[in-house]
Amino acid sequence: HPEYEYEGPDYNDIAILTTRNEVKFNNIIWPFCLPQINQRFPDYAGVRIAGWGKVNQTHPASTLQIAFIQVMSNARCEEQWKEIAPQNYANTISWSYPQGLTN
């Protein structure tokens, strides 16, 4: 993403690749669908996510991680995050999401 900053907030951390040749899908290579721009999911809808984030507080993933999660509103997410891990919330939100959680 042209506005991605490696050493900055975790916004715009997505890339779309264009290939010269057709990609042959198999059990290792498959499409990953993105939601439409204005698509909204109801709270607790099940979705699949993927990324190379941290696998714990100090270790980045060395392979693509995939998880199934339930969607919740940004407000509910922040409310639960503050309740369950207040120190983690304060540190992470100020560095990784200074503009708050976005859609």
Q: Which residue is it, tokens 């959680």?
A: 101
pLDDT by residue (tens digit) across 1-57? 777 777 766 677 777 788 999 999 999 888 877 888 888 888 899 998 888 877 887
The alpha-helical segments, DSSP class H, found in 7-73 are none
- pTM comes to 0.57
Beta-bridge partner residues of 69: 47
Report d(CA 39, CA 31) in Å as an integer.
19
Other residues' Cβ atoms within 10 Å of the Cβ of residue 89: 16
Write the pLDDT tens digit of every residue in 52-103: 877 887 888 888 899 999 999 888 888 988 899 888 888 887 777 777 777 6
Which H or E run contains 81? helix 74-84
Q: Is residue 66 within 8 Å of residue 96, measured between CB atoms?
A: no
Q: How far apart are CA 41 and CA 5, in angstroms?
A: 28
